[in-house]
Amino acid sequence: MSAPSAPPLDVAALKVRHPAAFAVDWRGRVTAGAVLLLMAAVYVAAFVWFDVPWGRIVPGFRQLGWFVLEMIPPDPGGRFWLYLDSLGETLAIALLGTLLGAAFALPLGMLAARNAMPLAIVRAPIRRVFEVLRGIDTLIWALIWINVVGLGPFAGLLAIATSDLGALGKLFAEIIESADPKEQEGVRAVGGGRIEEVRFGLLPQVLPVIAGQILYFIESNTRSATIIGVVGAGGIGLHLSEQIRVLEWKQVSFLILLILVSVAAIDYVSGKLRAAMAGRRTVAA
Amino acid sequence: MSKAVVQLPEPQLAALKEAYRVAARGKRLRLIAFLAVAAALIGLSAVQAEVNLGTFFAKIGGFTSYFDRLATLEDGRRVWTDPAEWFWSFKRIVRLIGETVLMAYVGTLTGFVFAFALNFLASPNLTQSAGIVFAARRGLEFCRTVPDVVFALIFVVAFGLGPLPGVLAIALHSAGSLGKQFFETTENIDMKPVEGLRAVGASWVQTVRFAALPQILASFVSFTLLRFEINVRGATVLGFVGAGGIGQDLMEAIRKFYYSDVSAILVIVIVVIFAIDVVTQRLRRTLLSKGRLA
């Protein structure tokens, strides 16, 4: 443990000199222990509630291992172009859904920002709407939109746009609120009107940050768009759930691989774009 | 106000305007090029996603009338005139939401344990072997990129219907998402305490416990609370594929057009999610202001 050249430690003397460093924080320890105990109790209680079929766990994992072995090698089973087309659909849903959501979120986000909209009576209901839109998962929106526009990618696109409107609206409002008011004051001081104030004082500050967030959402929506087909709202998810149901594991692994590669590619491109934009950013997100 | 501003004489102003025009031109050209590329991508995507504005405008009325029907009971009255009828299955909904929240809880906690164990192996400042770092990172990346619904689909085949496949799916996906946030925190810690402990001959576990953990624990817990919030939302739809929670009932209600049931479930879901958001946000704020836990 200790190197031979280390000077001998007089621990007792150190304890006398620095009592605070050696004191035991009993209250903190008891609180932490109680919290951890409670969490563990809830954890165990949950398994009792779930009525877990314990007998199925070992065979389940064995079956899972067998599925994984079956997955190798990935094979499109002669449907390569069909799958590629669905992948394109997925990417299109993510791109258009995010942009549509952002197009509505920008004006509404401005109306929910304290410095752009002084009336609290306007801001509060808009914020509540954002919360409701965000609280409902994209897949639920997809089911609802299917009832309205029918099965297909268009429903998926609208579902992504709806839940993004909630998430982006809130984010945009926060970004706009964090803008530095001095630039707007500067424009006003040289005689600019209200519109010039927003155009030259506010937008140049917030647009790069907002664009970065939109890119980030396109990236993460690519992931959610891959599963939106599970309920019939277009994209590669339909094939994925179908092939899992008929236990075509080689095609499943091919589809998962396709998703991994395209998500990695989108991550890379948008990461590069965001880094390029970050060079010009003026407000911290 | 604006009358008080002193205007420069015209010739002086002209020079400034010219300079502005030159400075803005390059930027404007880049913007136009960017917009052209974006427009081309949007057009291409619109074709691929079968966007049909005709159907959209023909049926957009259906979206608003959908919400109108959500607020209507079977006998045509408004839902709020008879809450007992609206929430006739209140007990069942609450039980299933409880199951949903518990699924998210167990899944998040299990994911946390795995992410916590793996993140030190994925941080090159604490683990010297490049091979281990690479393997840990690729594993976490895989878990993060595959959506939890896909894991749930596969686990339902292996383990049967019920909350267990849902919990496993949430755990696996959370391990990946949390693991990435964790190792990004860990690899950026202040290395001086680590060097100090190494210098006095501490073991790897002691180094992690006394040098790394005090710096990272608060943000780890904060990330995990946020993930819990996300997972509660995600767990509401795992029932769509038979993996437990409220999702199964919700999907049936939507598919079979039981409008007042849909709205009853959605109202309770939103209230629960909102309550969890508020609590976790408060916890996270106190955590981050305190800064350290260990």
pTM given for the model: 0.82
Q: Can you give the pLDDT of all 294 residues of chain B as single tens digits?
A: 445 567 778 888 888 888 888 888 888 888 898 889 888 888 888 887 777 777 777 777 777 788 888 888 877 777 788 787 788 888 899 999 999 999 999 999 999 999 999 988 888 888 888 889 999 999 998 998 888 899 999 999 988 888 999 999 999 999 999 999 999 888 888 889 888 988 888 888 888 888 888 888 888 888 999 999 999 999 999 999 988 889 899 998 988 888 888 889 999 999 998 899 889 888 888 877 765 555
Looking at 1.10.3720.10, 3.50.50.60, 3.40.50.620, 1.10.1740.10, the CATH number of the domain B87-290 comes to 1.10.3720.10
Question: Per-residue pLDDT tens for B12-45?
Answer: 888 888 888 888 888 888 889 888 988 888 888 8
Cβ contacts of B257 on chain A, cutoff 8 Å:
147
pLDDT for A281: 47
Mutation site for A-interface testing, chosen from B47, B65, B159, B272 by largest number of A Cβ within 10 Å: B159
How far is A131 from chain B, CA to nearest CA, in Å? Answer: 8
Report cis status (omega within 30 of 0) of the bond before A73: yes
B-contacting residues in A 217-276 (Cβ below 8 Å): 223-224, 226-227, 230-231, 234, 237, 240-241, 244-245, 247, 252, 256, 259-260, 263-264
H/E element holding B294?
none
* Nearest chain B residue (CA) to A128: B274
| Fold adopted by A83-278 | MetI-like fold (1.10.3720)
Q: What is the domain partition of chain B in residue ranges?
A: 8-51, 87-290
Q: Is A188 on the interface with B (CB under 8 A)?
A: yes
Domain boundaries, chain A: 10-44, 83-278
What pLDDT score was predicted for residue A278? 65
* Residue among B2, B48, B157 minimizing CB distance to A89: B48
- Name chain A contacts of B201, Cβ cutoff 8 Å: 1-3
Which of A2, A50, A157 is nearest residue B49 as measured by Cβ atoms? A157
Cβ atoms A202, A56 nearer than 8 A: no
Strand partners of residue B78: B72
A190 interfaces chain B, CB cutoff of 8 Å: yes
* Cα separation, B152 vs B159, whole angstroms: 10
Q: Is the ipTM of this complex over 0.90?
A: no
Sign of CA dihedral A130, A135, A138, A144: negative
Sign, CA dihedral A66-A68-A69-A75, equals positive
Q: Determine whether the interchain pair A132/B251 forms a contact, defined as Cβ–Cβ distance below 8 Å.
A: no
Identify the pLDDT of residue B228.
94
**Nearest CA-CA distance, residue B121 and chain A, Å:** 22
Residues 6+ apart with CB under 8 A from B216: B182, B185, B186, B189
Mean pLDDT of A182-200: 84
**Cβ <8 Å between B150 and A256:** yes
